[in-house]
Chain A
Amino acid sequence: MGRRALLVAQGVAVGLVVVLFGLLVWKLVDDEGGALAASVARGETPDAPDFTLERLDREGELTLSSLEGKAVVLNFWASWCIPCKEETPFLEQVWRENRDRGLVVVGLDAKDFRRDARAFMRKFDVTYPVVYDGPGKTLSSYGVTGFPETFVLDREGKVVEVFVGAVNSDEDRARLRAAVDRALGQ
Chain B
Amino acid sequence: MRLLAFSVAVAGVLAASVTAWGAEPPNAADLEAELVCPVCETTLDQSDAPVAQRMKAFIRERIAAGDTEDEIKDALVAQFGAGVLATPPKSGFGLLAWLLPLVAVGAGAVGVALLVREWSRRRAPPAAEAPLSPDLEQRVDEELARFEP
Main DSSP-derived SS at the B contact region: helix
Does residue B90 face the partner (Cβ distance < 8 Å to A)? no
The smallest C-beta distance from A91 to any residue of chain B, in angstroms, reads 20
Please choose the segment from B13-21, B66-74, B111-119 that sits at the chain A interface, where 4 or more of its residues have CB less than 8 A away.
B111-119
The smallest C-beta distance from A68 to any residue of chain B, in angstroms, reads 28
- Judging by beta carbons under 8 Å apart, are A135 and B54 in contact? no
Does residue A124 face the partner (Cβ distance < 8 Å to B)? no
Residues of B contacting A111 in the complex (Cβ-Cβ under 8 angstroms): 38-39, 51, 80
A114, A116, A135: most-surrounded residue (chain B CB, <10 A): A135
Does residue B25 face the partner (Cβ distance < 8 Å to A)? no
Interface residues in chain B, defined as those with a beta carbon under 8 Å from any beta carbon in chain A: 38-39, 50-51, 53-54, 58, 78-83, 111, 114-115, 117-118
The 10 tightest CB contacts between A and B, nearest first, are A135-B81, A80-B50, A111-B38, A1-B118, A134-B79, A134-B80, A1-B114, A80-B51, A113-B79, A111-B39
Question: What are 25 A-B pairs with beta-carbon distances under 8 A?
Answer: A1-B115, A1-B117, A1-B118, A9-B111, A80-B50, A80-B51, A81-B50, A111-B39, A111-B51, A111-B80, A112-B51, A112-B79, A113-B54, A113-B79, A114-B79, A116-B54, A134-B38, A134-B78, A134-B81, A135-B38, A135-B80, A135-B81, A135-B82, A135-B83, A137-B81
